[in-house]
Structure 1
Amino acid sequence: MPKIDIENSRLGFAQIRVEVDGKEILLKSVSYGDAMERSQIEGNAQMSLGMSAGMYKADDGEIEVYADEFAELVEAFGEKFYTKPFDISVTFEPEGTTKLTKDEIIGCRWNKRGVSDQTGSDALTRTLGYTAAYVKFGGKNPLPNMPDGAK
Structure 2
Amino acid sequence: MDVHPLIRHAPDPEHPGWWSWELAAEDRFNAVIGKLLVRADGPGRAVCRMFPEVRHSNLGDMVHGGALLTFVDMALFAGGRLAGADVVRAVTLDLSTRFLAPGRIGVPLDAEVELLRETKRLAFFAGRVVQEGELIAHFSGALRKMSKEVR
Could you state the TM-score of these two structures normalised by the residue count of structure 2? Answer: 0.30
Larger Rg over CA atoms: 1
The structure with higher relative contact order (CA 8 Å, sep 6+) is 1
Could you state the TM-score of these two structures normalised by the residue count of structure 1? Answer: 0.30
